Structure 1
Amino acid sequence: MRSNLRALIGVAAAVALLVPPTATFAGDENGRKPGSSTQVLREYAADTWTSLVAMTDEQTGLVADNIEGDLSAPAEYTSPTNIGGYLWSTVVARDLHLITRKEARDRMSTTLATLATLERHEPSGMYYNWYSPTDGTKLTTWPTNGSAVHPFLSTVDNGWLATALRVVAAAEPKLASDATALYDSMDFGWYHDLNARPEVGINRGGFWVEAPPGCSAPGNYGDDGPAVYYTCHWYDTTVSESRIATYLGIANGQIPAEGYYGTLRTMPDQGCDWDWQEQKPTGEWREYLGVPVFEGVYEYRGMKLVPAWGGSMFEALMPDLFVPESDWGAESWAVNHPATVRAQLEHGLDEAGYGYWGFSPASDPFGEYREYGVEVIGISSDGYASDVERTNVDVGYEGCREATNPTPEFGDGVVTPHAAFLALPYDKHAVLENLAGLKNDLGAYGPGGFYDSVAVGSGTLAERYLSLDQSMIMAAIGNELGDDLLKHYFVDDSFEQAVRPLVEALDFGSVLPE
C-alpha cells in the first residue's frame, strides 16, 4: 500500500487548479462579488493562515501549539498533531493561492527535514507528544512551569501527523519521497490490542517507553523487543477523532479489518449495567465480519444519532475532513454527521438559547483550555458542557436512574468557531450566518482570524489561537472551496479498497427527520 502513495501524486496539479487565483475573486466574469460566500471563506482562510505563519519557527518549520491574539509570544511546545495540521494547512494555503507553490514547498521541506531528525520510538516509528518548536528537542520538563514531562507516544496524535504525511506525498511530487519515507516508518499495529475484547481488538490510547507514575500496562503489540507501557484505557467509542488511526492502520495492513467494528456506538443496553451513560440507548445487534455490534443510538429533539464521548463537534467530524465517510457510509455517517450538526445548532439556538452554536474543546475564555460540547449527546454522563457554569443535563436512565435535571437552565455559553467550520459540508448557510455574528456582533475576530472561543453571554473572548483549531479551519475551508481537495489527496486506490467496504457495510440506525 505504501508505495501506492505515489499514485496520488498525479492528482496534485488538478486539485491545485480547482480554486482560482486571488485576482479573480472580486467581481469577476463568473459573478463572484465582494461579500460572496467564496470570498468570505477565502478571507477567513487568509487571516487564519497568518496566525499559523506567526506560530511557525522559520528554522525548524515546527508550529507552536498556540499563540496570543496579537500574534506575539508563541508557545514553547508543539505536538505531532500540531505539526501535521501545519503541513496540511500549507497545502490548503497553496491551493487557495494564498502563497506560491515555491513557498509552500519550501515550508513543507523544512518541516519534513526536521521531522526526520526528531527523537522518536524507533521500533514503531512513532513520535513523542511534546517537542520544542525552536530546536526540535523532546520535552522532559514543561516550559511554562518546569514540571516533569513523561514522554508519551499518542495514538491519535501520531494518526494526525501520518494523515498530513499522506497529504503532502500526494500534493507535492518533489516532496513525495521524503513524506512517504516518514509515513512508511510508522506502524500503528503498536497501538492495537488484539485481546482487548473477546471478539476483536481496539487501540490503546498510547504508550510510554519508561513506566510513568500511575497506571500503565506493560506489553508489546509490535515486535519481540522490550516491553513498553500502555495506557490503562482504550479508544473504545466509534464517534471519536481517534478513528483516524484505525483507518490508517487498516489501510496499511497493520490493523485487521475487524478492528473497524471493535469500537462501541453506545454502551450496550443491558439492564442497569451501563446506566452510568448519559441516556438509555435504543438499537439492535448486527454482525460485521463476524464481530457482534450493538448499533445503539441516542435520541435528541426528534433525531437519533450515535453520540461522541463528550458530545463535541471535532470528535464527530474531524476525520471527515480526510476520509469521505458520508460518501461511503450511506446508512451511517451520511446521516449521523448532519444529525450531529443539527443537534449542535438546535442546542445553541433553541435549547440553550445562546444565539450562536458550535461546541468543541478549545481555549477557555476564563483560563487556559477546557472541553466544550453538547453534553446530552455525549456518552459520558458528566461530559462536555456547553457553558461556563458546566451545566449538567441528566435525563435519567429508564428503570435504573431517575432524571435529576432533564430541562436545565444554561448559563454563559462558550462557542468555538472551529466547530462551526467543521459543519460546512452539512449546513453552509447556517455556518456562515453563525460565523458572521461571532465576528461582527461579538468581536471574536483578530489579526489571525477567529479567536479560539467566546463566552457569548458575557462577551468574554479567549484571545488566543490554537494551531490545531486553526488547522481544522484551514482544512474545512480548503475542502469547501476546493471540491474536497484534502480528501482527494488523502485517499488513494488501495486506501479506498481497504476501507470503503468497511464503511459501506455500517448501518447505525441514525435518523434525521426532514
Structure 2
Amino acid sequence: MRHRWLTASGAALVAGAMAFAAPAVAAPAAPEPQGGGGGGGGDDGLDRRDRRELMRWANDTWASFVAMTDEETGLPADNIEGDLDTGTRSGYTSPTNIGGYLWSTVVADELDIISHGEALRRMRQTLRTLNEMERHEPSGFFYNWYDEATGEKLTAFPNGETIYPFLSSVDNGWLTAALMVVRNEEPSLRRAADRLLDDQDYGWFYDPTFRGPDRPGLLFGGIFVDTPPDTQCANLGPAPGANGGEGSEEEVWLTCHHYDLLNSEPRIASYIGISRGEIPREHYFAGYRTFPATCDWDWAEQQPSGFDAEHLGQPVFEGSYTYRGMQIVPTWGGSMFEELMPDLFVPEADWAPNSWGVNHPLAVRAHIEHGLEETGYGYWGFSPASHPFGGYSEWGVDAIGMQNEGYPSDVERTNWDGGFGDCRPAANPDPDWGDGVVTPHAAFLALPYAPQETMSNLRGIEDELEAYGPGGFYDAVAVHSGQSAERYLSLDQGMIMGALGNVLGDGVLHDAFTRGDVREHIRPLLALETFSAGEG
C-alpha cells in the first residue's frame, strides 16, 4: 500500500528526466556559487582560520542545546535565555525542536564536539521518550506541543494560553527528516527510529482533490483531531489522501489552507511523502513558483515574469520576481529559512542545477545586497526569529517575498511595494529603512553559497554588534540600536548546527537523509525543471 504512488508515473519520470519540456524563452545562466553548492566536499572557499572559527561557533552553539535539553527525557526546550540558566527553559517543545536536537547531535558527533558514546546515549534517550509520547495513532504523527520535562502532550502553555492539539505537516516533516538522518547514520539506532517512522503516513496531509481530478493535489497545513477553536478555518471529514490514497476511516478537522508555494519550508514534507510513496511525484509541480501574472493576482508583492512549461504532464508557470537586476523565484515572505532550510537535507543546488542551483545563490545575494547596499545596515541575513525588543517576529527581504505586506527587515516594519505592472501602481518603491534586524542563523544557511561574505558578516555580528553569548550567536540583533534578543531557540540553533555539519562534516546531513529512497525518487524529479531565475 505504501508504494502505491511510486508506480503511478515512474516511466514518465524517467523519460522526463532525459528530455523535459522546453521553455518558451531561454532561462538566463546561473551565477556560480563561491562554495561547493551542495555543502559537502570540494573547495568550499574556507581557509584554516575560517574553519577554526566555525568550529568555535559550533562548540558554543552545541552548548545551548546541552542547556536546553532535559536530562531525563532527552527533549530540548523551545528556547532558553542567553545566560543558559536551565531554570529559564521555556517549558514546552515541538516536533521541529526535537528534530533539530537529534540532527544537531549527529553533527556534534561528526565534528568530535562530543564522543560517539555520548551521542548514542543522547539519541537513544530521545528516541525512547518519543516512543512513549502520545501521538495520533491512525497517522503516526506527533502533536504540536509537549512538555520537554515530561514528554506529556500540552493543552496549555506555561502562561495559561490554551493549546488546541494539532498535527502540523511541516513540523512533523522536520522530525521525520531527523529520524531518517539518525536511522541512516547510526545503524544501532535504526530499529528504534524505524518504529516511529513506519507508523507515519504522509498521505494524511495530502489533499488529492483540491485542484480537481486532473491535477495533483497539495498538502494541508495540518489536522485538528478535536474540534478547533474556529470551525470556519477547518473542514470536518476523513483525510482523503491517507492509506495509499483510499482515505482514512476516522473523521478529523482538516485545515482550510494548503501549502501552495514550492519555495517554502513545507517542501521537506513533500520530499518525504514522495520518497515514501505516500504522495504522487506530480505533486511537486502542483505548487506555484509565483502566482500568475494577471491582474486577478495584483494583491501580490509584484508582477512576475516567466514562461509556461510542462512537467510530468502538469502545466507550470515558471515565474520569478525582479530584484536589483536578478530574477528570483520568491518565497512567501522573502526569508532565508524558507529558501534554504530544506537545502540542509536535500542537496538541491547539486541535484537541480537549472532550478535551485540558480535560485539559491541568487537569494543569498539578494540578502547580502539588501543588507549592505539597499538599506545600508552593514549586515545581512533575515529570517523569522526573536524580536530584539521582545517576542517573536518575521524578518525577510520584502521584495523577494510574495506576501503583499512582506516580511520586513527592520524594527519599524517598513513595507516595500513596487506595484503590479499596469494593474496596480507602486505604493512605496523607495522606502526609508529603519533599525534593521539580522538573524545569525540566516547567514549560516548561506555558507555554501557565499562563504567569505558569510564569515565577514558573522565576525562583525560577534565583534562589533556583540550579539554573542555562551551559547553562540544570540537569536537576533537590531543593527543601529545594538539591541540583541539575548536568547536561544532550538529551531534556529538547529539550523546553525545543520549548516555547520554539512560544511565542516563533508555533507553529513545530505548523505544521511538522502540515502536510499530519497536519492532514488527525488533526485531525478528535481532534475526535470528549469526556473526562470537568473541575472539580467
Category of TM-score, reference length = shorter chain: over 0.9
From 262, 271, 275, the equivalent of 1:238 is 262
Report how many aligned residue pairs link the two structures: 484
Indicate if the aligned counterparts of 2:2 and 2:277 stay in contact, CA closer than 8 A. no
Inter-partner Cα distance in structure 2 for 1:319 and 1:432: 22
1:498 partner letter: H
Q: What residue is the counterpart of 1:14 in the other structure? A: none
Cα deviation, residue 225, structure 1? 1.8
Q: What residue is the counterpart of 2:204 in the other structure? A: 190
Q: What residue is the counterpart of 2:489 in the other structure? A: 466
Q: What residue is the counterpart of 2:97 in the other structure? A: 82
Q: What residue is the counterpart of 1:6 in the other structure? A: none
Indicate if the aligned counterparts of 2:216 and 2:280 stay in contact, CA closer than 8 A. no
Indicate if the aligned counterparts of 2:184 and 2:515 stay in contact, CA closer than 8 A. no
Encode CA deviations 1:440-487: one digit per residue, 9 max, x unaligned: 001000000000000001000000000100010000011001121110
Q: What residue is the counterpart of 1:107 in the other structure? A: 122
Cα deviation, residue 131, structure 1? 0.1
1:228 partner letter: V
Q: What residue is the counterpart of 2:235 in the other structure? A: 217
SS in 2 for 1:454: strand
SS in 2 for 1:286: strand
Encode CA deviations 1:56-106: one digit per residue, 9 max, x unaligned: 001000000000000021110000000000000000000100000000000
Matched, 1:249 2:273: yes
SS in 1 for 2:296: coil
1:55 partner letter: M
From 440, 444, 451, the equivalent of 2:463 is 440
1:113 partner letter: R
Q: What residue is the counterpart of 1:323 in the other structure? A: 346
Change beyond 3 A, Cα 1:493–1:195: same
Cα deviation, residue 512, structure 1? 3.5
Inter-partner Cα distance in structure 2 for 1:389 and 1:195: 42
Indicate if the aligned counterparts of 2:2 and 2:278 stay in contact, CA closer than 8 A. no
Inter-partner Cα distance in structure 1 for 2:201 and 2:376: 46
Inter-partner Cα distance in structure 2 for 1:51 and 1:484: 23
From 173, 178, 195, the equivalent of 1:159 is 173
Q: Which moved more, 1:251-260 or 1:192-201?
A: 192-201
Cα deviation, residue 414, structure 1? 0.3
Indicate if the aligned counterparts of 1:382 and 1:392 stay in contact, CA closer than 8 A. yes
Cα deviation, residue 32, structure 1? 7.7
Q: What residue is the counterpart of 2:219 in the other structure? A: 203
Cα deviation, residue 493, structure 1? 3.0
2:501 partner letter: G
SS in 2 for 1:283: strand
Inter-partner Cα distance in structure 2 for 1:507 and 1:185: 36
Cα deviation, residue 492, structure 1? 1.5
Q: What residue is the counterpart of 2:77 in the other structure? A: 64
TM-score (norm 1): 0.92
Q: What residue is the counterpart of 2:506 in the other structure? A: 483
Matched, 1:378 2:401: yes
Q: What residue is the counterpart of 1:148 in the other structure? A: 162
Inter-partner Cα distance in structure 2 for 1:213 and 1:161: 26
Q: Which moved more, 1:43-52 or 1:171-180?
A: 171-180
SS in 2 for 1:203: strand
SS in 2 for 1:335: helix
Encode CA deviations 1:150-169: one digit per residue, 9 max, x unaligned: 00000000000000001000
Q: What residue is the counterpart of 2:186 in the other structure? A: 172
From 258, 277, 290, the equivalent of 2:300 is 277
Cα deviation, residue 494, structure 1? 2.3
Encode CA deviations 1:138-177: one digit per residue, 9 max, x unaligned: 000111x212110000000000000000100011111111
Cα deviation, residue 367, structure 1? 1.2
1:376 partner letter: A
Cα deviation, residue 285, structure 1? 1.1
SS in 1 for 2:309: strand
Change beyond 3 A, Cα 1:40–1:472: same
Inter-partner Cα distance in structure 1 for 2:511 and 2:114: 20
Q: Which one has more relative contact order, counting CA pairs under 8 Å at least 6 apart?
A: 2
Q: What residue is the counterpart of 1:13 in the other structure? A: none
Q: What residue is the counterpart of 1:137 in the other structure? A: 152
Moved over 2 A (4+): none
From 49, 61, 64, the equivalent of 2:62 is 49
Inter-partner Cα distance in structure 2 for 1:483 and 1:86: 19
TM-score (norm 2): 0.89
Indicate if the aligned counterparts of 1:331 and 1:509 stay in contact, CA closer than 8 A. no
Change beyond 3 A, Cα 1:338–1:472: same
Inter-partner Cα distance in structure 2 for 1:142 and 1:493: 39
From 357, 362, 367, the equivalent of 1:334 is 357
Inter-partner Cα distance in structure 1 for 2:498 and 2:281: 27
Inter-partner Cα distance in structure 2 for 1:500 and 1:335: 16
Q: Percent identity?
A: 57
Alignment of 1:351-430 (within 5 A): 351-430=374-453
Alignment of 1:121-132 (within 5 A): 121-132=136-147
Inter-partner Cα distance in structure 2 for 1:78 and 1:381: 31
Unmatched tracts of structure 1, length 5 or more: 4-17, 20-30
Q: What residue is the counterpart of 1:303 in the other structure? A: 326
1:49 partner letter: W
Cα deviation, residue 38, structure 1? 0.8
Q: What residue is the counterpart of 1:37 in the other structure? A: 50
Q: What residue is the counterpart of 1:11 in the other structure? A: none
Encode CA deviations 1:109-140: one digit per residue, 9 max, x unaligned: 00000000110110100000000000001000
Change beyond 3 A, Cα 1:378–1:424: same
Change beyond 3 A, Cα 1:46–1:287: same
Indicate if the aligned counterparts of 2:300 and 2:404 stay in contact, CA closer than 8 A. yes
Inter-partner Cα distance in structure 1 for 2:326 and 2:269: 29
Alpha-carbon RMSD: 1.5
Indicate if the aligned counterparts of 1:335 and 1:512 stay in contact, CA closer than 8 A. no
Cα deviation, residue 224, structure 1? 3.5
Encode CA deviations 1:264-318: one digit per residue, 9 max, x unaligned: 0110112x10000100000111111111111100010010010000000000000
Q: What residue is the counterpart of 1:96 in the other structure? A: 111
Cα deviation, residue 368, structure 1? 1.1
Indicate if the aligned counterparts of 1:349 and 1:357 stay in contact, CA closer than 8 A. yes
Inter-partner Cα distance in structure 1 for 2:354 and 2:250: 43
Inter-partner Cα distance in structure 2 for 1:264 and 1:404: 25
Inter-partner Cα distance in structure 2 for 1:248 and 1:417: 28
Inter-partner Cα distance in structure 2 for 1:202 and 1:224: 17
Q: What residue is the counterpart of 1:25 in the other structure? A: none
Inter-partner Cα distance in structure 2 for 1:148 and 1:178: 32
Unmatched tracts of structure 2, length 5 or more: 4-39
Indicate if the aligned counterparts of 2:184 and 2:190 stay in contact, CA closer than 8 A. yes
Q: Which moved more, 1:491-500 or 1:419-428?
A: 491-500
Q: What residue is the counterpart of 2:6 in the other structure? A: none
Inter-partner Cα distance in structure 1 for 2:416 and 2:47: 45
Cα deviation, residue 2, structure 1? 9.5
Inter-partner Cα distance in structure 1 for 2:438 and 2:535: 24
